[in-house]
Amino acid sequence: MKTLRELIAEGVAGRRVLVRADLNVPLDGDRITDDGRVRASVPTIKALSDAGARVVVAAHLGRPKGEPDPAFSLAPVAARLGELLGAEVALAQDVVGESAKAVVGALSDGGVALLENIRFDARETAKVDAEREALAHDLAALADVFVSDGFGVVHRKQASVYDVAKKLPAYVGGLVEAELAVLRKLTDDLARPYVVVLGGAKVSDKLGVIANLLTKVDRLLIGGGMAYTFLKAQGHEVGGSLLQEDQLDQVKGFLTEAEKRGVELVLPVDVLAATGFAADAEHDVVATDAIPADRMGLDIGPASRELFASKLADAATVFWNGPMGVFEFEAFSGGTRAVAEALVKSEAFTVVGGGDSAAAVRALGLPEDGFSHISTGGGASLEFLEGKELPGIKVLES
């Protein structure tokens, strides 16, 4: 892959550089509640701007239905990006239409413009190659060079990620390059013991990565909503907790495979069992073999927090993806905090695998520099660790 450093060394002054960034941030109305991805995009954009490039940024926000929707406008992102860059970021009112052409045409050397939400154009995510390629053609008309710097989308075969890289000279951005270097340390150059902590809602979202990790890890810790399917597979009552009945056979297979391979698979030993899914729900600490039928587990309990911390204490490498409970509710954030704090204290190479885990670190006020790396792409990280080919990376290598 050709790198951002090589591009800047070649000279970019006056050239239009299309940067695919990942600016998919959570919003409360028009207020950004976690600007981590915007901050992560700044170094590449600033490097190009400082070198005199005319920077055209493409990104998505949320899941609009292939047409303009004010609720998903990138206007708040343009404002925040401008604050971080210390310069105005012009926002086009469309993706590749007359406004985009005018805004890009008005850029001076070092200027930065943001196209409106790329998913306002249905061709971005089209399954038909020709439709995506048509949008890629329109995007390429706005630029001279392409830089892929949205790690959170490189596992998607989409017009602004994959197809446009075949129509313009393509380079890997600094963020994507750094993410790949970290993930390769988790696959090619492991320091052991290697411990993986998985949480989040659904075990079905992580079937492939669990199957692959069982061939590589020394210890696998399972928390969050997905833990209840494992507990049910062991024959425990889980009450109204999140449960995927259709995954029980698969999970029983994981338990058997872990034992066969000598992988220590660690499950919670107690949970906070609540009367309902609410921030102020009444709850008690109960053992995982004694969850009442009329309660639901919303977090791992204090004994589980100590257990998980002890299983992380001697690790040399740790990958964590997925919260241990409903961390958005203060009463049920303790498990996620305990895992995060154990990683901060650890001397291991610690990677937070994006998504809700990264959001939790910031929401809980934990020091980001307490971790070796916080990824911007949960889905991309998991697919890489699953051993899948990432289209947005493959196209840069060809």
According to the annotation, is 24 in a ligand binding site?
yes
Which of these, 128, 124, 116, lies nearest to 160 by C-alpha position?
Answer: 124
Residue tagged active-site, from 173, 322, 355, 377: 355
Question: Are the C-beta atoms of residues 158 and 132 closer than 8 Å to each other?
Answer: yes
Question: Are the C-beta atoms of residues 78 and 115 closer than 8 Å to each other?
Answer: no
Residue tagged active-site, from 101, 167, 185, 202: 202
Active site residue 379: yes
Question: Are the C-beta atoms of residues 234 and 255 closer than 8 Å to each other?
Answer: yes
According to the annotation, is 37 in a ligand binding site?
yes
According to the annotation, is 61 in a ligand binding site?
yes
| Dihedral angle over CA of 317, 322, 328, 329, nearest 10 | -90
Residue 321 pairs in a beta bridge with 198
SS3 317: strand
According to the annotation, is 142 in a ligand binding site?
no
SS3 320: strand
Residue tagged active-site, from 15, 16, 37, 295: 37
According to the annotation, is 297 in a ligand binding site?
yes
Which of these, 300, 293, 290, 297, lies nearest to 267 by C-alpha position?
Answer: 300
According to the annotation, is 62 in a ligand binding site?
yes
According to the annotation, is 173 in a ligand binding site?
no
Q: Is the peptide bond before 68 cis (omega within 30 degrees of 0)?
A: no
According to the annotation, is 356 in a ligand binding site?
yes
Active site residue 16: no
| Distance in angstroms (rounded) separating the CA atoms of residues 331 and 285 | 12
According to the annotation, is 22 in a ligand binding site?
yes
According to the annotation, is 223 in a ligand binding site?
no
According to the annotation, is 354 in a ligand binding site?
yes
Separation of first and last alpha carbons in the chain:
8
The dihedral region occupied by 21, where left means phi > 0, alpha psi between -120 and 50, and beta the remainder, is: beta
DSSP letters spanning 109-124? TT-EEE-S-GGGSGGG
Residue 227 tokens, joined: 């833990």
Residue with tokens 């910031």: 362
Question: Are the C-beta atoms of residues 146 and 16 closer than 8 Å to each other?
Answer: no
According to the annotation, is 119 in a ligand binding site?
yes
Residue tagged active-site, from 173, 322, 379, 392: 379
Which of these, 296, 287, 219, 204, lies nearest to 251 by C-alpha position?
Answer: 204
Question: Are the C-beta atoms of residues 290 and 271 closer than 8 Å to each other?
Answer: no
According to the annotation, is 156 in a ligand binding site?
yes
The DSSP element (H or E) to which 300 belongs, if any, is strand 296-300
Parallel/antiparallel/unpaired status of strands 270-274 and 283-287: antiparallel
| Distance in angstroms (rounded) separating the CA atoms of residues 151 and 386 | 16
- Show binding-site residues for (2R)-3-phosphoglycerate: 37, 119, 156
Catalytic residues: 37, 202, 355, 379
- Show binding-site residues for ATP: 206, 297, 328, 354-357
- Show binding-site residues: 22-24, 37, 60-63, 119, 156, 206, 297, 328, 354-357
- Show binding-site residues for substrate: 22-24, 37, 60-63, 119, 156
